[in-house]
Amino acid sequence: MTKSAKIRKLMAKGLSVAEIAKRVKVHANYVHTIKWLDKKKKPKAQFKSPRSRLLQDIFQMKKAVDAVESKPTKLLVQPQYKDMAMKILADNDLVNKPPHYTKGGIDFLDYAEAKGLTENAYLFNVVKYVSRAGKKVGADPVQDLEKAEFYLKREIARRKSA
């Protein structure tokens, strides 16, 4: 076993730098160097839960948007693909007609307005999150259902207190 491996093993046990240096018979600076190298190699953040991964994706998207907004950019498409690219952009209007709100051929906002849900934010959000659960790309369906549950509980509490 190498000296650095012995040092790492003793560090894992929680021994102090002085104790490690004495046991491995090296200078304390060598132990500090191994600790520094190990710290340098570790990733800064570990995202394990779906919510954490979602946050990581959001931070990456924000970073990309900030980079785009900081300098003018152009959509570069080869001429033979221009018509196809324009059709894809037109078909996926994420502001006015997001695909996860129009699954099944019915636009959620049209449905909500027809049922009078736009007058009650809690009920509007309940139906919104239930209807999109499992349909939005990259979103956790359970999280959408939990959001719906949150708004439903708020509406129930509001009606009980009235």
> Per residue in 7-28, pLDDT tens?
999 988 889 999 999 999 999 9
Whether 86 is in a domain gets the answer no
pLDDT of res. 140: 82
Helix or strand holding residue 64 (H, E):
helix 50-70
Report the pLDDT value the prediction gives residue 118, as an integer from 0 to 100. Answer: 85
Look at residue 106 and tell me if it is in a domain.
Answer: yes
Three-class DSSP category at 48: coil
Chain segment 93-150, per-residue pLDDT in tens: 666 666 666 666 777 778 888 888 888 999 999 998 888 888 777 778 899 899 999 9
Give helix 3-12 / helix 17-24 axis angle, nearest 10°.
140
**Residue 93: per-residue pLDDT:** 63
Is residue 89, in this structure, part of any structural domain at all? no
**Arithmetic mean of pLDDT over the chain:** 79
Q: Within a domain: residue 25?
A: yes
* pLDDT at residue 48, rounded to an integer: 59
User: pTM of the prediction?
Assistant: 0.41
**What does the DSSP assignment read for 66-78?**
HHHHHS-------
Q: Is 124 left (phi over 0), alpha (psi -120 to 50) or beta?
A: alpha
What pLDDT is stored for residue 85 in this prediction? 66
Residues 6+ apart with CB under 8 A from 102: 108
Give the rounded distance of the alpha carbon of 73 from its chain centre. 25
Residue range of the domain that includes 130:
94-161
User: Please, which pLDDT band fits residue 37 given cuts at 50, 70 and 90?
Assistant: confident
- Tally the domains of the chain: 2
User: Does some domain include residue 19?
Assistant: yes
C-alpha to C-alpha distance for 18 and 23, rounded to whole angstroms: 9
What integer pLDDT is reported at residue 61 of this predicted model? 72
Domain membership flag for residue 18: yes
Asked if the structure places residue 153 within a domain, the reply is yes
Query: Which residues neighbour 97 within 8 Å (Cβ) at sequence distance 6 or greater?
Result: 107
Mean of pLDDT values over 41-61: 65
- Quick check: is 15 in a domain? yes
